[in-house]
Structure 1
Amino acid sequence: MKEHAAPVTRAWVLHPDIKNDKDRRNARMALDEAVSLAHALPGLEVVGDTIVPLPRPHAGALFGTGKIEELRALFEAQEIELVLVDGPVTPVQQRNLEKTWKVKLLDRTGLILEIFSDRAATREGVLQVEMAHLSYQRTRLVRAWTHLERQRGGLGFVGGPGETQIEADRRAIDEQLVRLRRQLDKVVRTRELHRKARAKVPYPIVALVGYTNAGKSTLFNRLTGADVMAKDMLFATLDPTMRAVRLSTGADVILSDTVGFISDLPTELVAAFRATLEEVLAADVVVHVRDISHPESDEQAKDVRTILESLGVAEDTTQIELWNKLDRLEPEEIEAVRQRAARDPAVHAVSALTGEGLDDFLEAVTEALDGERLRDDLVLGFDEGRKRAWLFEKGLVESERQEEDGYVISVHWSARDRARFEAMDKD
């Protein structure tokens, strides 16, 4: 029996190049990234893409009337069903453009949410995505648009034929959000138990972070032999993949591969995925993987650092920069990158694909971990059971003896562990 091919949605990508935007990016690079985002969503055929210069956004429809009509004719001729706008689109702008163009429209946030919906694998990841999606849809409930039927098919929308329906939809979304939060609380408690179990294993956590498509999953696979999905595709990894591994240097670590960051990631998504990125917050070493062959590598690195700061990654956490994808550079460029990297001991030029430079990088990870760990003797009173339990839970205790006034505990810990321990007095 012959299987029917999955339906394909014909899509067009637009990048509004707004002249008065203080955070304006290189339009061609931004459009290329938006097209890569579109390719990350199954079932889409990107038929074409356009940069639309704009002095400023028009409140009612984003673009001017002449450009809207020009694009309408283009979309009609190309039989476009979905338009992806690389930037924010208000609910009113979306409604007006959909009505004029007779297409479905997604802005950047909507597209990223659809990709997250498709990629999320763990129970918590799925719940976080659903909550972010519902919160986003709640803001898009506007008066009815009647030219399209309300079909989801992977590219969904919540709406209704009037104010009464809008209010009903909004109430239904709020009720669903409450239900999802309850489910999420249960999942988070389960993860907390798993995290405590891991804390008893005295392995430091090494977290791989970086701009999406920087090569983190390829590096993870090479270091662990794991079969983690590693495609040349944005957002190929959405849930942290944790694995306890022995590095070639002999060090035992827990390696964490995380979702790729991206510029202009909506703040509600950063918040929604904070729990998904919690392993980064707990990491002893953060490895920032960069695609050094990308023309906007410096801008991407800046975006990653901004998100790490917003997540609350401690300043005293050791960070190593990995300038990846040397294999994509010309020989003279490779030498220049090596010389630049050699000036900073926290930077290593590598190729996760070929393995070049990884031995030196792994030695640096080992040194960072060994350098952080030190031994102390602590005296705890019998009334300080919480602090004593924390030390055992973290696997930091080497020996303990009981004396008349309390416990004398020998610990082997990092400066960061010691700071956390001392902060417990302030709780």
Structure 2
Amino acid sequence: MRAVPKAVWLLSAGIFVNTVTAFTFVYLFLFLTTERGIGVAGAGLIAGAGGIGSVAGNFTGGWFGDHFGHRRVLLASSAVSGAGLIALPVLPAAGLLVVLPLSMYASGAARAANATLVTAAVPAGARRQGVAVMRFASNAGLAVGAPLGGLIATQVSYGWLFLADGIGSLLFAGYAARVLTADPGRAERAAVAAGGEPLWRALRARPALLVLLPAIVVIDTVYRQQYGTLPVFLGDHGIGTEVYGALMAVNGGLILCLELPAALALRERSPLRIIGAGLVLVGLGYGLLVLGASVRLAVATMALLTLGEILYKTPATAYVADCAPLHLQGRFQSLYAGASISGSVLAPALGGALYDAAPGLLWPVCAVAGTLAGAAVLLASTRPLRSRSPQPAAAGAGTGALEGA
């Protein structure tokens, strides 16, 4: 862990605090349907628009960072997101349809900037450790923030959740401005970009990424069924909400305890093989539900889903960074960030529709899709690909991108 720069630890500390106050999407639907009195269909439309904004921000934030600086994008996006969240409780429904997607777009762009700054700061050989530190901070913040948000919502009001979330984003922007110095200058990026390959040509030269990114979209859609159709399935079979809450605790606890040690233990192993194995585990986890619904099967399913997440998410983020040319680091991270959150839009729509039409097909489909996605990545790992080794320019240039102020 000594190879992880001090600034990454400092930035991760800020991410932890910011995530503690990130209540928006956890309680958004309840806020809309209860405190605001909006119908289920209208609330779904508003929440869906916010989700689309978040995915779009993740996909495009790296472009702004590559052109204007990732630090600038992080600060500006956090400020815009915070201001929008603070305004949400007092806006009419029509205003929510405009401001929520804008705020979530900015939040998605900030997420892409965070990932790029961290991966650019850490030497290529230690990127998995750096990403694991960032993910540990984010998951720890969520573990604290979700129950804290529930307490605030029940004891005060849902509106205070958005106020706290917005203030947290604004404070994070101020903290990041103090902790981080400027990332590599615009002139340096322009000089590299002038002789660098365009994005699509760079992706074509790295065919493993053209396998990995669609596989991540598939697995994220499968994985996020645990937040939508899984609790419905359990409820339909007499397994109550308290059991589902305990399953979420299993998920969070395993990630916090195992992800950092796993990143360290596996740091010398082939990233694509680790990622592929993780995707297969997610598919096998849902495959257990084909056998029926019971508490034991649900616990085993959650354990496999969580172990799969631990195996694939950190190495995938680091692998994409290792493959990226200097002038495309942000755009490569944006492609991964967008793929890794696409399930937040796709999973409820596709999983809900399939479960409504043919409940018995959902888990076999999830199992097959996850297993095939993992198999595709494992197959890509056996081929001699240009992207298998980090590029010296990207690995060396990034180490000065972040410094403690």
Return the TM-score normalized by structure 2: 0.25
TM-score by length of 1: 0.24
Q: Is the strand fraction higher in 1 or 2?
A: 1
Instruction: Report which of the two has the higher share of helix.
Output: 2
- Which has the larger Rg? 1
Higher relative contact order, structure no. (Cα contacts within 8 Å, ≥ 6 residues apart): 2
